[in-house]
Amino acid sequence: MAKPSDLLQGTLDMLILKAVSLGSTHGYGLLLRIQHFSRESLQIQQGSLYPALYRLEHQGLITSEWGESDNRRKAKFYALTVAGRRRLRDEQDGWGRLVAAIGSVLNATPADVRP
């Protein structure tokens, strides 16, 4: 399984923004979303998640408010801002271009090599 240190720089922020875009939830809920949608391949540690959440909130990309979790504990719930939606869209576009470029290299055959 990939560790947060194995993720490309900036990927964690994009994953968090995407997870928050699916609906307001608390930090642990975000961990579970990322884990679920990655089919258990990504397991973000709380020590990486909470500094990233703080950074994203400080940048105005997410907001937070205190609420009560399903197990009746006080928890901070996160939501995406308009700026966060824009950043997520930009990050997804950039990621798509990167994936396409890497795919082109990985799918190259000897016939594709220029003389």
Question: Residue 30: which CATH number?
Answer: 1.10.10.10
| Comparison of pLDDT for 113 and 79, the residue scoring more | 79
**Confidence at residue 70, expressed as pLDDT on a 0 to 100 scale:** 86
Over residues 55-110, the pLDDT tens digits come to: 999 999 999 999 988 888 999 999 999 999 999 999 999 999 999 999 999 999 99
Looking at the domain assignment, is residue 112 inside a domain?
no
**Confidence at residue 6, expressed as pLDDT on a 0 to 100 scale:** 53
Looking at the domain assignment, is residue 85 inside a domain?
yes
> Please, what is the Cα angle at 40 between 53 and 86, to 5 degrees?
40
Looking at the domain assignment, is residue 84 inside a domain?
yes
Residue 8 is part of which domain span?
4-107
Looking at the domain assignment, is residue 113 inside a domain?
no
Which residues, 6 or more positions from 25, have their beta carbon under 8 angstroms from its beta carbon?
19, 33, 77, 78
User: Residue for token digits 């964690």?
Assistant: 12
Which residues, 6 or more positions from 72, have their beta carbon under 8 angstroms from its beta carbon?
none
Looking at the domain assignment, is residue 36 inside a domain?
yes
H-state helical runs in the chain = 11-21, 27-37, 46-58, 82-106
Over residues 3-60, the pLDDT tens digits come to: 444 565 569 999 999 999 999 999 999 999 999 999 998 888 888 999 999 999 999 9
Domain count, the chain: 1
> Please, what is the Cα angle at 10 between 19 and 65, to 5 degrees?
40
**Confidence at residue 35, expressed as pLDDT on a 0 to 100 scale:** 93
DSSP H/E element including 63: strand 62-68
Looking at the domain assignment, is residue 91 inside a domain?
yes
